[in-house]
Structure 1
Amino acid sequence: MIARASNALPVQARDGRGDRAEILAALKECAKRKDLARGKRIHAAAVECGLDSDLFVGSSLVSMYSRCGSVARSRMVFDAMEFLDRVSWNSLVLGYAENGGGEVALKLFLAMQDEGHCSPDSSTFVAAIKACSSLSERESGMEVEGMDRRIKVESLEKGMRIHRQAWSSGFERDIFVANALIHAYAKCGSLVDATKVFHAMPRRDEVSWNALMVGAVDNGEPELALQLLVSMNSEGRVAPNPRTFLAAIKACGCCAVKEDAKGIDSRLVKLASLEKGMALHSLACENKCDSSVFVASALVDMYAKCGSIADAQRVFDSMQDRNVISWTSMIFGCVDNSQDELALELFRRMVEEKRCPLDAWTFVAALKACGNLAALETGREIHEQIRDAGLEREASIAATLVDFYGRCGSMDEALEAFQLSSQEDMVAWTALVAGYSRQGDTPRVLELFQALLDKGLRPDVMIFSSLLSACSHAGLVDLGKRYFEEMSSKFGLAPGIHHYHCVVDLLSRSNRLEEAVAMVARMPFEPTLVTWTTVLAGCHKWKNSMVGRMAFQRLIALDRRLDSAYALMANIYGSLGLWRERQEIQAMRSMNVL
Structure 2
Amino acid sequence: MFRFFRWKHFDCVADARTLVAALTGCAALAVEQRGNSRRWLEKGEEIYRQALEKNCSDNSFVQNALIELYARCGSMVKARSVFERMRRPDAVSWTILLQGYVDNSESALALRLFDGMSSTIPNARTFVAAPTACTSLAASAVGSCNWLRRGKSIHSRAVTSSCCDNIFVQNTLVDMYAKLGEMQQARDVFDKMSSRSVVSWTALMQGYVDNGKSEVALKLFEGMAEEAEAPPAARTFVTAITACTALAAEQKRLNHWLEKGKRIHLQAVRNRCWDVYVETAVVNLLAKCGSMAEAQEVFDKMVKRNVVSWTCLVQGYVDNGKNKRAPEVVCEMDLNGVTMNSATFVAALTACGSLMAAGERKAEQEQWISLQHAP
Q: Please give the TM-score of this superposition, normalised by the length of structure 1.
A: 0.56
Aligned: 1:304 with 2:287: yes
d(CA) in 2 for partners of 1:97, 1:67? 11
d(CA) in 2 for partners of 1:102, 1:160? 17
After superposition, what is the alpha-carbon deviation per residue over 1:161-200, rounded to whole angstroms, capped at 9, x for unaligned? 1111211222222111111101111121111111111111
d(CA) in 2 for partners of 1:105, 1:358? 33
Aligned equivalent of 2:17: 21
Aligned: 1:161 with 2:166: no
Amino acid at match of 2:224: M
**Equivalent residue of 1:322, what SS?**
coil
Shift of 1:272: 1.6
Aligned equivalent of 2:368: none
Aligned equivalent of 1:130: 132
d(CA) in 2 for partners of 1:217, 1:317? 28
Shift of 1:129: 1.4
Structure 2 matches for 1:73-472, cutoff 5 A? 73-113=78-118, 116=119, 118-139=120-141, 154-260=146-252, 270-290=254-274, 292-354=275-337, 356-374=338-356
CA shift in 2, pair 1:306/1:157, >3 Å: same
Aligned equivalent of 2:57: 52
Contact 1:255 1:273 in 2 (8 A): yes
Aligned equivalent of 1:42: 44
Moved more, 96-105 or 309-318: 96-105
d(CA) in 1 for partners of 2:250, 2:45? 54
**Equivalent residue of 2:195, what SS?**
coil
**Equivalent residue of 1:340, what SS?**
coil
Amino acid at match of 2:182: S
After superposition, what is the alpha-carbon deviation per residue over 1:40-65, rounded to whole angstroms, capped at 9, x for unaligned? 32223312341332211100111222
Asked which structure has the greater RCO (Cα within 8 Å, sep 6+), the reply is: 2
CA shift in 2, pair 1:158/1:124, >3 Å: same
Moved more, 69-78 or 239-248: 69-78
Structure 1: gaps of 5 or more residues: 142-151, 262-269, 377-406, 410-594
Q: Please give the TM-score of this superposition, normalised by the length of structure 2.
A: 0.86
Contact 1:371 1:408 in 2 (8 A): no
CA shift in 2, pair 1:10/1:131, >3 Å: farther
Shift of 1:10: 5.6
d(CA) in 2 for partners of 1:31, 1:74? 13
Equivalenced residues, count = 352
Contact 1:259 1:273 in 2 (8 A): no
When Rg is computed on C-alpha atoms for both structures, the one with the higher figure is 1
Shift of 1:230: 0.5
d(CA) in 1 for partners of 2:209, 2:145? 20
Amino acid at match of 1:84: P
Amino acid at match of 2:18: E
CA shift in 2, pair 1:140/1:259, >3 Å: farther
